[in-house]
Amino acid sequence: MTSSSQAHTGQTPAPSAEAEALHRALFTLDSHIDIPWPDRGDAFEDTDARRVDLPKMQKGGMSAGCFVAYIAQAKVDAEGHAQAQAQCLAMLDVINGMQGSQNGVTARVCSTVAEIEAAYKSGVLVVIPAVENGYAMGDDPAVLAQFRAKGARYVTLTHNGHNALADAAVHRPSLGDKPENHGGLSALGREAVRHMNHLGLLIDVSHASKKTMLQAVAASAVPVVASHSCVRALCDHPRNLDDEQLDALKASGGVIQITAMPAFLKPRDGEAPRSAGVADFVDHIDYVVRRIGVEHVGISSDFDGGGALADWQNATQGVNLTAELLRRGYDRSEIAAFWGGNFMRLLGQAEAVAEQTGTIG
């Protein structure tokens, strides 16, 4: 592995033949991809309207993606909860429709590690459902079982704005938020964490406040994941994890999936347009590796949810990230851990705990 990052030149070298071959040989999983809503029925089409569709994944050598039902935060009341739940279930149905064979592409929705591994060995693209924003659960943890029944593997506790489960990193005064509504997890949020552990759903702490994140680490029987976050020491954004949070991830066995959002990767240079590249992205991987180890960091894009880098614009360009990791001195096993091995380990741990404790239905 590398001990220091190389200087950024502003130019992205063409991937080497070694990088191309390695990228094609690895199991490559992007842990956070948004879907368009309302659905356009174009998942099997190579369209400019999406940064990730199934043909782009195939062309770019991507093996798997977590496709999320993202629910924007709105008013925390019965009407808002009902609307959020209905939309989330409808979005999960759309994600479940992203399988079969069309236009020379074959994909399969998978909800267990065994299913993911079998699909990958068969040369089939893997679609993994997930939910972004516990607001979709409303105030009823039993709803989480419906999400799991539709294949979901993680639930992001919050988005921007506090909900009934927890405080978010970014509060929304327009929705009546105080800087803190709960002081971290609410009693309902702690109950939701227990249900998620029983169901095999990972607790995703991206978007959560620091208190929420640290309390979730302590409350969960399974290591937590930050499905799309970056390092606060390198870019001081409230959405990023600071050193204390990274250390808590290490102690618990959790993982931070660095994400391709320029605002989280690199401070703004004066009034210049904000931009970042794969070199900036790998700086964050380097930092996590040096502080807490190779086994605690992975890769996400947040494509179609705002993520994009100058040299990682869509799912066809993931090889540029593999090439940069090689240039930094990471070996095949380390790059494999970043590109999906670490995330898959957490999925397996979640399944093991669910098997021990039984499913809440």
- 48-84 pLDDT, tens digit per residue, is 999 999 999 999 999 999 999 999 999 999 999 999 9
- Report the distance separating Cα 269 and Cα 266, nearest Å: 9
Q: Which residues of 301-324 are buried (b: 16+ CB within 10 A; e: fewer)?
A: bbbbbbbbbebbebbbbbbbbbbb
* Residue from 318, 312, 321 nearest 282 by CA: 321
Which residues have C-beta within 8 Å of that of residue 298, sequence separation ≥ 6? 29, 31, 255, 256, 257, 258, 337, 338, 339, 340, 342, 343
CB 260 within 8 A of CB 282: no
- Report the distance separating Cα 3 and Cα 10, nearest Å: 21
The pLDDT of residue 13 is 83
For residue 3, what pLDDT band results from cuts at 50, 70 and 90? very low
Orientation of helix 278-292 relative to helix 319-327, angle to 10°: 50
| 48, HSE (Cβ side, Cα atoms, 13 Å) | 0
What is the per-residue pLDDT across 293-315, written as a single tens digit (0 to 9) for each?
A: 999 999 999 999 999 999 999 99
The pLDDT of residue 224 is 98
361 DSSP 8-state letter: -
What is the per-residue pLDDT across 254-272, written as a single tens digit (0 to 9) for each?
A: 999 999 999 999 998 888 8
Q: What is the pTM of this model?
A: 0.96
> 108 pairs with which residues across the strands?
126
Task: Tell me the two tokens of residue 119.
Answer: 């699909």
- Report the distance separating Cα 131 and Cα 6, nearest Å: 37
Q: What is the mean pLDDT of the chain?
A: 96
Task: Tell me the two tokens of residue 344.
Answer: 């898959």
What is the per-residue pLDDT across 279-292, written as a single tens digit (0 to 9) for each?
A: 999 999 999 999 99
Centroid of chain to Cα 233: 20
